[in-house]
Amino acid sequence: MVHEDVLKTVEDVRIRQMRGGTIVTHAALTSLCSAAIKSKASSPQEFLTELEENSQYLTKIRAASIPLANGLRQVVSEAQKATEGGSDVEKLKQIVSDATMTFDRKLEESIKEIAEIGARRLKDGDVIMTHSYSSSVIAILKRTHQQGKQLRVFVTETRPELEGRDVVRELAAEGIDTTLIIDSAVSHFIEKSDKVLVGAEAVAANGAIVNKIGTATIAAVAHGARVRVYAAASTYKFSPETMLGELIEIEERDPSYVLDDPELRKMSKVTVRNPAFDVTSPQDIDLIITERGVIPPQAAIMIVREQNSRTAFAT
């Protein structure tokens, strides 16, 4: 049975519209740890079964989020190994707690490293365009500003959930010169931009990125205007499954974000589609900024291979 803390987290993410894969991953890991600590399982196998069920349910939060999937997978894997090694329920609870905190800490540390590395790629006086909410992107922009470089930032509204407004609030609080623009004005403002900087929910083995819907269009427009496109993503967002040809699932969200239910019910022949993410071609991305350095999209396969090797070795 799925624990009430896990059910509450999934609902909270949906209702509160939590922004960014890192924030969502933290919320999921926190609830998984809480459920594990409160478990009343009488045997290690029962505890592990509960943990696996809660983990599988948490993947519903965001199907495209690779750090979420990687974090949950790592915690369950640690518990599986400990169960096979003869750990009792109390020991397993401690192992889950340690594993969740470790992954969470490493993810936060990766953002700090990305901020330092990314800030070195931005120049004083740069005009940056960004789309959607990304903890890594915001960290880069703040770190650049803290270094004394003056930036101007164009932030798209990012409809239909308007994440851009949250980005604007954070950048304005930092004292960064920020302009909120409507999504359809991207081509108008791209000529005034020096770089496009976006985050990623996931990075595929071929260097393509999955990010908020509209990212692919912005990257294509920037490519045509010869404006550089940088994606900021920790290596925890690289998807090992894509090396074997698996596709990253693109979730569709509630149509009511686009058209409210009463109005939609009046129009029997109208269907609303609301995909949350799209896939940006590696040909439209110049660099991916990771905590381990800056790589071209074509080098993503090396990171994915390394992750696969570590997983195989651990198994």
pLDDT digits over 283-312, tens only?
A: 999 999 999 999 999 999 999 888 766 554
Question: Which has the higher per-residue pLDDT, 314 or 65?
Answer: 65
Note the pTM of the prediction, 2 decimals. 0.87
**pLDDT tens column, 144-185:** 999 999 999 999 999 999 999 999 999 999 999 999 999 999
pLDDT, residue 69, reads 87
* Confidence class for position 18, pLDDT limits 50, 70, 90: low
Counting residues of the chain whose pLDDT is more than 70, the rounded percentage is 95
Across 66-75, 229-238, 257-266, 302-311, the highest mean pLDDT is recorded for: 229-238
Mean pLDDT, rounded, of the chain: 92
pLDDT band per the 50, 70, 90 thresholds, residue 64: confident
The Cα-based distances of 28 to 7, 35, 69 in angstroms read 10, 11, 10
Scanning the structure block, which residue is given the tokens 């490519």?
223
Tell whether the torsion through CA atoms of 147, 151, 156 and 161 is positive or negative.
positive
Q: Which domains are assigned to the chain?
A: 4-110 (1.20.120.420), 120-314 (3.40.50.10470)
List, in sequence order, every residue forming a beta bridge with 191; answer none if it has no partner. Answer: none
Q: How many CB atoms lie within 10 A of CB 172?
A: 14
Rounded to 5°, angle at Cα 159 from 157 and 160: 145
Cis geometry, peptide bond prior to residue 160 (ω within 30 degrees of 0)? yes
Residue 193 CA to residue 42 CA, distance in Å, equals 60
| pLDDT score, position 245 | 66
> Residue 29: left (phi > 0), alpha (psi -120 to 50), or beta?
alpha
Distance from C-alpha of 151 to C-alpha of 49, rounded to nearest angstrom = 51
Strand order in the sheet with 228-232: 177-181, 152-156, 127-130, 195-198, 228-232, 287-290, 293-295
Instruction: Give dist(CA 250, CA 278) in Å, integer.
Output: 7
